[in-house]
Amino acid sequence: MTLAAPLWVPLAAGCLRLVGGYSVRNLGRARAEFDGIWRETDDPLMLCGNHLTLIDSFLIMWVLRSPWRLLTDPKSFAWNTPERTNFARSPLYSALTYFAKCIPITRGGRREDTGLVLDRVVHLLERGELALLFPEGGRSRSGRVDPAAAAWGVGRVIGALPNCRVLCIFLRGDAQQSWGRFPARGDTLTVEMSCIEPKSDYRGARRSRDLARQVTAQLAKMEEEYFDGRQ
Amino acid sequence: MEQSEVLERVVKILTPWAKNEEALAKVGMETSILDDLKVNSARLVDVIIAFEDDFDIEIADEDVDSVNSVGDAVNLILAKL
C-alpha cells in the first residue's frame, strides 16, 4: 500500500457510499465472514469475483474490509490486475490505479508479459498477500457468469500454489441489468462468498483450464442461487 | 513430420477461433495469433489444448508464454514431437 493510502482509501469508500450512493446487504456479516477466512490459515488466498463494472475491484474491497481495517492490515488490501487500456484511458483511472496495488496487464498482449504478471501474482500470494483476479478475463458481456469463459491465467496461478484457497465473490446490484462502467446510482448490492480449493488431475494447460473452470462454475452456481432467491 | 504439414494442421486448428478472415487467408509463420488473427486471448488455452489433442503432445503453461505467432506454435509443436 502506498503512503497515500490514508488519504485515498477513506476517500474512495466515501465516494462509493456518498457519491455512488451504494449500499450493501449484510455488510457486517460479509466483513466478519471474510475476516474469518483471511485469518483461518496461512495458505495462499486468492479472491475471484464475477465482473460486471469497471469499479468491481473497489466495490469488492469496500465490501470485504472497512477503510480502517484496510489501513491497519494493509496485506488484506488485494493486489489486482486491471486491463491497461481501461485505466490508461483517462487521468482519473490512471491516478486511481497508480495509488492502488495494481499490476497492469494488457489483454491480448505478448504472452511473455502476461506470464510475468501471473508469476508476480503467484509470488505475492506466496508471501501472504491477497490478490484479486476476475476469472472470466473481463467484464461479462452477457451480464451473467459464463462458466466456459474461464481465463486460463487464473488456473495457472492456482496450479502453481499448493493448497491455494479461492474465495469466490459474487457481487451484483439490484438494478444491474448487464455489464457497464458503474453500478446504477443508489443501487443496493448483494454479496455472497464461497471458499473453495480447486484441484485437478490433469497436467499442463488442460490443468490450468480445469482449475479456472472450477472457479467460474462456482461463481455461476452462486449467481443461479442469487436469481433463484429473487424470484 | 515436416514443418509445412504442422503449419497446415495448426492453421486448420486456429480457423474456428480466428476472427480476421483476411489475415487467415494469407497466414504464414510470422502471423500473430492474437494481433493478426484476432483470436481471443482468453481462448488461447483452448487452442493450445487442441494442439495437444491433435498432435498427441503435452504443452506446459510456461511453454505457452513463448507462443505469439503461428510460427512459434509450429516450432513448439515440432520440438515436442
Q: Which residue of B has its CA nearest to A152?
A: B45
Nearest to A111 among B59, B60, B64 (CB): B64
What integer pLDDT is reported at residue A95 of this predicted model? 67
Q: Which residue of B has its CA nearest to A209?
A: B45
Helix, strand, coil distribution of chain A in percent, nearest 5: 50, 15, 35
Residue with cell 481471443: B40
pLDDT tens for each residue of A134-171: 998 888 888 899 888 888 889 999 999 999 999 999 99
The stretches of A83-196 forming alpha helices (DSSP H) are 84-87, 91-99, 111-126, 152-160
Residue type, A186: G
* Weakly modelled stretches of chain A, pLDDT under 70: 1-7, 86-90, 93-99
Q: Which residue of B has its CA nearest to A160?
A: B61
ipTM over 0.90: no
pLDDT tens for each residue of B4-55: 999 999 999 999 999 999 999 999 999 999 999 999 888 888 999 999 999 9
Measured distance CA(B72)–CA(B66) in Å, rounded = 7
Residues of B in contact with A215 (CB under 8 A): none
Residue A165, classed as helix, strand or coil, is strand
What integer pLDDT is reported at residue A104 of this predicted model? 82
Indicate the DSSP class of residue A105: B
Given pLDDT bands bounded at 50, 70 and 90, which one contains residue B56? Answer: very high
A95 and A107 Cβ atoms separated by less than 8 Å:
no
What integer pLDDT is reported at residue A13 of this predicted model? 83
CA of B52 to nearest chain A CA: how many angstroms apart? 9
What integer pLDDT is reported at residue A87 of this predicted model? 63
Measured distance CA(A79)–CA(A125) in Å, rounded = 9
With 0-12 / 13-18 / 19 or more C-beta atoms within 10 angstroms meaning exposed / middle / buried, residue A151 is: buried
Chain B residues with CB under 8 Å of a chain A CB are 34-35, 40-42, 44-46, 48-49, 52, 58-62, 64-68
pLDDT tens for each residue of A23-35: 999 899 999 999 9
